Amino acid sequence: MTELLMCLILFLPLLSAVLITLVLKRAAGTCGKLAIAAAVASFGFGVLVFAFESQWHGGVLLSVPWIELPGLSVGFGFLVDHLSVLMLLVVGAVGSAIHIYSYEYMRGDAGFSRYFAGLGLFMFSMYGIVVSGNLIQLFIFWELVGLSSYVLIGFWYERGAAADAAKKALITNRIGDFGFLVGILMLWGLTGTVDYDGIKNALSENPGVLGGLSTLTGLLIFCGAVGKSAQFPLHVWLPDAMEGPTPVSALIHAATMVAAGVYMLCRLSFVFLATPAWPEALSWLSAVTAPLVIAWVGGVTALLAALIATQQDDIKRILAYSTLSQLGYMVMAVGMIAPIAAMYHLTMHAFFKALLFMGAGSVIHAIAREQDIWKMGGLRKRMPLTFLVFLAATLALCGVPPFSGFYSKDEILLVAYGQSPGLFVLGMFVAFLTAFYMFRLIMVVFYGKARSAVVDKAHEGSITMTWPMVFLAVLSVVGGLIGVKHYLGAELAHGSVGESQWYLAVFAPFVHAPFIALIGLAAVVLGYISARTMYLGAASDPFPAGRALLARVLRRKLYVDEVYDRLNAVTQEAAAVFADWFDRWIIAGVCVRGAHGTTELTGRMLRLMQSGSLRAYSFWFGFGLVIVILISKSL
């Protein structure tokens, strides 16, 4: 029964994409309804798998032999456990809501059918990552997610910015994926298997099987997450990916695709347990371990992205940098060997960040596709429902109880408090910045006076846009109390899970760690007061006044793109120029034309010797004979 359900979950979105592309492309309305039906059905079957999980014991189901080579056996199957089932529910719930939302948002677009075909391909690819039971199957679907992301980011390919953003995302991810692939090969070479259970058993039986390559192997695996989850220094593709349709941003670049890297790290958390963890008194070189690097990469990404978000004016780019920052929190938790905290925040973030993008899309849709927040204002009265759900998602993101983000972020900060004071302080500062830039966004967009004529025509969207937002708003409010931490504890807990009951108490953080909860709330309140003081009623951004240099650096995204452009100029482009010169002058000039010219000149000279004169032939014969005699004497 479970095998059939898993097949339907995985292949229904692919079937819809194939039918839309090959059969129903001209019937736009039918294409949208088919894609929605497939997404909702997959989510429903995922709920059934969750409901009947007591009838199975987990593991790989329906494993079909696929690759059989000496030393390598790979099957194709479905891994069903608490972690994969949770992700099935997250991907299905968010994906279904966004499919329904997209039907109205994309109505009238010339590529309406192509859009839903792309969504179907993406859902198939993302489900494939979730249910894979080995690294080879995972990597194939990993690349398919990259392909579908390329298709959807560049959906409006006639716009140069969208096409460039799609290429940037694809190329940047290839850098991380190269390291990921090398890490997979190293795990196979050291453990003799690519199956999750096989690798885990090998590490359990022989903890030193990775030997001196343990840190390197862990970091190479992490490279895949650096690309897919847009961590520093490969974070540059995610903000540009906002050139795609807003529902794509909500689905791929807030809730699911970028979370794939965090999911992969949590799935392979046992690998990082086999690497040296947080040392206490070692030399600086031996102290550089995979978990330590992962945690600080996540922390630095969270900080840099939050700083940049404070000075962005595009509503979608603010949310994009917020996504980078929250992903940094999750990666930081993985580095501290707290996969439950990472998955907890991943789940909650999927709900409220998808809702934020959908709320932004509702605003953009209502004011003629305008995205500059300084051309908005006063939308609270014209779009009350959008304002309420956007506010709920903001409170969840900032970590205000009882909204979902409070519980998941508190869990990460609690782990940081116990392991690394530096990361704890960094996390608290990021919490302050998060409240600052999100309430800045709310003050500018929803309060004050209208700053352009398009705002006067703003109104709520149809029911197909508002009800998906309400659904996600409910999850954003109560999601933190549904027991994700306890549900994952049986498989991911490397130690005590903490809470033993299914439903977490509303005030549990204040009971177990009151200092962490209270200081986190203080950071949020301070961020809110700062944003309200600076931006409520402001006609333009007051921040650059007296801080011109800082504002310019943050607006230019810390000049990371410029550094990459210069680096490419002195490396890749310089190598390309040299290769062009070498091909033009050495290969084509000296080798090809030189060989051609030398042969032609020799032929012409030899042709002159063929005069038909017996006297001339006798002379050349004698001349050659003399040369031979001279050479023989010299030898």
**Could you identify the residue written with the tokens 């940081």?**
416
HEC assignment per residue over 365-422: HHCCCCCEHHHCCCHHHHCHHHHHHHHHHHHHHHCCCCCHHHHHHHHHHHHHHHHCHH
Residue of higher predicted confidence among 242 and 500? 242
Question: What pLDDT is attached to residue 631?
Answer: 85
Q: Which positions ≥6 away from 127 have C-beta within 8 Å?
A: 9, 10, 13, 42, 88, 91
Q: Which residues contact 150 (CB under 8 A, 6 or more apart)?
A: 166, 167, 169, 170
Whether the CB-CB separation of 358 and 250 falls below 8 Å is answered with yes
Q: Report the alpha-carbon distance of residue 184 to residue 440 in Å, rounded.
A: 43
Q: What is the mean pLDDT of residues 503-526?
A: 82
Two tokens, residue 278: 């947080």
For 491, the token pair is: 């498989």
- Give, in order, the Cα–Cα distances in Å from 210 to each of 183, 184, 203: 12, 13, 8
Averaged pLDDT for residues 353-382: 92
pLDDT digits (tens, 9 = 90+) for 48-99: 988 876 566 556 667 788 888 888 888 888 888 889 999 999 999 999 999 9
**The pLDDT of residue 488:** 82
Say what the pLDDT of residue 591 is: 82
Instruction: Supply the pTM of this predicted model.
Output: 0.89
Dump pLDDT digits (tens) for 169-214: 999 999 999 999 999 999 999 999 999 989 999 998 888 888 888 8
Mean pLDDT, rounded, for 262-272: 91
Which amino acid, residue 477? V
User: Shortest CA distance to 178 belongs to which of 139, 151, 144, 130?
Assistant: 139
Beta bridge partners of residue 78, listed in sequence order: 61
> What beta strand segments (E) does 70-182 contain?
72-80
Residue 282 has pLDDT above 70, yes or no: no
For the chain, what percent of residues have pLDDT higher than 90? 58
Q: pLDDT value at position 56?
A: 60
CB proximity list for 489: less than 8 A, separation 6 or greater: 340, 497
Average pLDDT rounded to a whole number, residues 458-467: 89
pLDDT digits (tens, 9 = 90+) for 287-306: 568 888 999 999 999 999 99
Under 8 Å between Cβ of 351 and 345: no
Q: Is a pLDDT exceeding 60 seen at residue 629?
A: yes
Which of the residue ranges 166-180, 463-477, 508-522 would you say has the lowest mean pLDDT?
Answer: 508-522
* Residue 507, token pair as written in the block: 């005030």
Q: Would you give the end-to-end CA distance of the chain in angstroms?
A: 91
Judge whether residue 568 has pLDDT over 70. yes
Among 133-137, 285-289, 460-464, the range scoring the smallest mean pLDDT is 285-289
pLDDT in the model for residue 260: 92
What pLDDT is attached to residue 572? 86
- The region of weakest confidence among 442-456, 544-558, 592-606 is 592-606
The predicted pLDDT at position 51 comes to: 84
Tokens of 23: 């059969």
Give the best-scoring range by mean pLDDT among 44-53, 135-144, 457-466: 135-144
Torsion of CA 593, 597, 600, 601, to 10 degrees: 180
Distances (CA, A) of 62 to 13, 85, 138, 582, 604: 19, 16, 16, 55, 75
Q: How far apart are CA 195 and CA 201, in angstroms?
A: 10
Rounded percentage of the chain residues whose pLDDT exceeds 70: 93
Region 544-563 average pLDDT: 87
In this prediction, residues 221-239 reach a mean pLDDT of 93
Average pLDDT over the chain reads 88
Question: Of all helices (H) and strands (E), which one includes residue 65?
Answer: strand 59-69
Structure tokens at 635: 């030898």
Q: How many Cα atoms are found within 13 Å in the side-chain-facing hemisphere of 126?
A: 33
- The answer to whether the Cα torsion of 40, 44, 50, 53 is positive or negative is negative
Coil vs helix vs strand at 476: helix
Residue 356 in tokens: 């934020």
Half-sphere exposure of 571 (CA within 13 A, CB side): 6
